Structure 1
Amino acid sequence: MFSPHTFLRALCALPHRGAATPAGAEAARLLQTQLADLGATVRMQAFETPKTYITIVYWLLGGVLVGLALLTVTGVAVGFVWYFVAMAWFYFNGRYSFIIKFPVQHTAHNVIGHWPARTTADDVQTVILMAHYDTAPVSLLYKTGFRTRLILLLVLMLLAAMAATLEAVGIGLPYLTYLRYGLMAYFVLQATLGTLGYWLRGYSNGASDNATGVAAALATADRLRRANLPNLAIEVVLTSAKEAGMIGAYYYVDAQKKKWKRNRTTAIHFDTLGAGLLTIVEKAGTLEPLRYQNEPTRMARKLLKTDAFRDRSQTGNGHTADFDSVWFVRNDIPVLALCAMDARGRMSPVHQASDTLDGVEPAAMETAIDLAVAVVQHMMKDK
């Protein structure tokens, strides 16, 4: 029988699991071995990605800064600013942005395990159990108020583009020129603060974010495959480059979405289960709200009212659109998103050097496994 606690310790024994790094490749091999030991057919999905979101942040802010700096040289700079602001809006609101293809690109891998249904009947249901295994750069901005800072950054980028447009046609001078210089200084400051932690401390160990989610996905798969549900096909998808912008999940969904039968496909996503109360995510998003309104989420809310889960779980909202499950929602695939939050609705310290195994409380991870299994079993009974 698979032990999520034993596997959690093995995964956290690596210093980190950064995307497209040697440690990330070692983590992928460990996941392959574990999936094979559980009887899955295992495949690797290679894709190209920046190693971290830092590359993307530098491109976005750098592009805006260059456009603003060239405004007095050529009017074309206005279009340059708007181009990078638009890419930033899409990227930070959980939509596809071409910025993810900017250099420098590296090869990372999603690790996928599959257990086919034991019947060939037409009513086979597929459940996708998903978690990202890569770890994030340490960031000072994630300690408090990250969503507020991100919204402020997007608003000021929009302001910069609008002000540049007016300045280019000679409106509002010289005040808009002063505003432009002030915004340029702010963008440099944000780029520095947002990436300084990485240059000083490197990657987090990622025990809570998201070794706990990986362990929960594997444990749920193990219990479901032994649950005698012949019409159930199980796929475990362990993605990389989530911390670069949910890129591994994007490529997985993009490759599979045309093959799925939407009325017979359900996803369950596990993310950051190391501390706090298990939380059923009902809404996420930065400036664009992303709502989880689907059958598995409704089923989970019903189960939350039962004795088995009443004191062990809650509903809540994510603070940014940084769940891999965003791509399922965008493509109308029903998905149950699970994380852990404290009483104030905050996740455990993510993107911090303190995210180690010593700080993990296993209760939320164990509850996530129980709830995910119960949701699938109830949904199979209703079919």
Structure 2
Amino acid sequence: MDALEEVLALLKLPHRGSATPLEAEAFRRLRALLEERGLAPAAIPFRGVPSYGWELLFIGLLLALTPFSPLFPLLGALGFFLYFHGIRPWAFLLDRFPSQNLLAWKGEGERALVLMAHVDTAKTYFLYHPGRVRGFRRAFLVNAGLAFLAPFLAFTALAWPLGLYFLLQAALLLHRELSAPYVEGGNDNGSGVAVATALFLEAEPPPGWRLGLALTGCEEVGALGAKALLPHLPTGALVLNLDNVGRGELFYAEGEGMLLFFPYRGPLLEAAGKTPGARPVRYRLAYFDTLPLTQRGFSCLTLVRLEGGLPPDWHWPTDTFARLDEGALEGTLVYARSLLEKVFRES
């Protein structure tokens, strides 16, 4: 069994929902694998949430109160902007559930390159249905626009229809939290964990470099694992993130952001532009673990595979290990290997 197959076999659980016991079991298995290979991964514990739905539900309820006072939609619009900008000032109230990252290193040197992939899986939602998911970005932009208009519409005839719209959104989120299952997550992100781990196990950094492997938790609920990882990354570390790389055409993201756009910069992006096998994309659909790192000045790059502009089976129960494309996994590994070699050689 090669490394890709071995890692995928370890991750075949019913799900690996953020901050759940099955996420913890996946980390236990991954840590045991790395220790069997003679490595000493460090666990980085932190507190997270099992789902993002309750936060968006509360924001929706504030917006639903638009007919009663402009103060409520003002707070709702602010909460909407902060959440999708990666800022959660209310986190101390909600982040009560144990999660973790694993961080392992190879080599010695002042320069560092980190391979990153998130372990957790998300709950599904009606917007991810194959018949609706192509409109996901459009629905997000409509909600953003209405949220930011809501404070100005509080005393107009549109206040009640707008309030009812956001009340319906809150009801749908409540239904999600009470009944929606976590997905198995073969592509999102068993594929990324497998490729990142396999590459880390095979690669040897040249003199002057350290190579890291960062496996994160709670990416699906606000990139909380990446935020917890920040104090443990060396200054100036390069970060190559792998997410949803098990099917579709390979892309390298030039940046990301659901509201504001944060471009990537640095040697990894430059190397990707010189390496055949992947096309560039400005990723606006959602966020990756690289978002909080990029916001804080780290040089990042994310590899992702898309079909029609979307990750295949994105957050839907069809995202199973059985639907992974072995050729896509191998192709991503080959491309990521070429990127590392180019960066080590030219930087």
TM-score, normalising length: structure 1: 0.83
In the alignment, does 2:110 pair up with 1:110? no
Deviations 1:147-195 (A, max 9, x none): 111111111111112223xx3xxxxxxxx1x322111211122233356
The number of equivalent residue pairs is: 343
Q: Is contact 2:191-2:245 (8 Å) kept?
A: yes
Given candidates 257, 269, 272, the residue that maps to 1:297 is 269
Deviation (angstroms), 1:314 = 2.2
Q: Using the alignment, how far apart are the partners of 2:175 and 2:324 within structure 1?
A: 26
Aligned match of 1:95 = 86
Q: Using the alignment, how far apart are the partners of 2:282 and 2:329 within structure 1?
A: 18
Aligned match of 1:282 = 254
**How high is the sequence identity, in percent, across the aligned residues?**
25
Aligned match of 2:114 = 128
Partner of 2:102: helix, strand, or coil? strand
Q: Using the alignment, how far apart are the partners of 1:341 and 1:142 within structure 2?
A: 15
The RMSD of aligned alpha carbons is: 2.1
Q: Using the alignment, how far apart are the partners of 2:235 and 2:265 within structure 1?
A: 18
In the alignment, does 2:242 pair up with 1:256? no
Equivalent residue runs for 1:356-367 within 5 Å: 356-367=320-331
Q: Using the alignment, how far apart are the partners of 1:367 and 1:128 within structure 2?
A: 20
Deviation (angstroms), 1:109 = 1.1
Aligned match of 1:11 = 11
Q: Using the alignment, how far apart are the partners of 2:162 and 2:335 within structure 1?
A: 47
After superposition, the Cα gap between the structure-2 partners of 1:64 and 1:102, relative to the gap in structure 1 and judged at 3 Å, is farther
After superposition, the Cα gap between the structure-2 partners of 1:351 and 1:191, relative to the gap in structure 1 and judged at 3 Å, is farther
Amino acid at match of 1:369: L
- Once the two structures are overlaid, the 10-residue window that deviates more, 282-291 or 347-356, is 282-291
In the alignment, does 2:209 pair up with 1:210? no
Aligned match of 1:29 = 28
Q: Using the alignment, how far apart are the partners of 2:64 and 2:297 within structure 1?
A: 37
Q: Is contact 2:54-2:173 (8 Å) kept?
A: no
Amino acid at match of 1:320: L
Q: Is contact 2:19-2:99 (8 Å) kept?
A: yes
Deviation (angstroms), 1:368 = 2.1
Gap regions ≥5 residues in structure 2: none
In the alignment, does 2:126 pair up with 1:140? yes
Bigger Cα Rg: 1
Deviations 1:172-226 (A, max 9, x none): xxxx1x322111211122233356455434100011000000011101101213x
Aligned match of 2:298 = 333
After superposition, the Cα gap between the structure-2 partners of 1:281 and 1:375, relative to the gap in structure 1 and judged at 3 Å, is same
Q: Is contact 2:10-2:30 (8 Å) kept?
A: no
Amino acid at match of 1:33: A
Q: Using the alignment, how far apart are the partners of 2:51 and 2:221 within structure 1?
A: 4
Q: Using the alignment, how far apart are the partners of 1:69 and 1:30 within structure 2?
A: 52
Q: Using the alignment, how far apart are the partners of 2:338 and 2:330 within structure 1?
A: 12
Aligned match of 1:345 = 309
Q: Using the alignment, how far apart are the partners of 1:104 and 1:341 within structure 2?
A: 32
Q: Using the alignment, how far apart are the partners of 2:285 and 2:269 within structure 1?
A: 19
Q: Using the alignment, how far apart are the partners of 1:287 and 1:33 within structure 2?
A: 39
Q: Using the alignment, how far apart are the partners of 2:336 and 2:107 within structure 1?
A: 19
In the alignment, does 2:207 pair up with 1:230? yes
Aligned match of 1:74 = none
Given candidates 147, 155, 160, the residue that maps to 1:157 is 147
Q: Using the alignment, how far apart are the partners of 1:243 and 1:151 within structure 2?
A: 20
Amino acid at match of 2:232: Q
Q: Is contact 1:133-1:210 (8 Å) kept?
A: yes
Q: Is contact 2:107-2:207 (8 Å) kept?
A: no
Gap regions ≥5 residues in structure 1: 72-77, 168-175
Deviation (angstroms), 1:300 = 1.2
Partner of 1:102: helix, strand, or coil? helix
TM-score, normalising length: structure 2: 0.92
Deviation (angstroms), 1:80 = 4.1
Deviation (angstroms), 1:70 = 4.4
Amino acid at match of 2:246: G
Deviations 1:231-256 (A, max 9, x none): 22122111111111111112212x23
Aligned match of 1:173 = none
Q: Is contact 1:317-1:345 (8 Å) kept?
A: no
Deviations 1:14-53 (A, max 9, x none): 1000122111111110111122123322121121222111
Aligned match of 2:58 = 59
Q: Using the alignment, how far apart are the partners of 1:126 and 1:198 within structure 2?
A: 40
Aligned match of 1:48 = 47
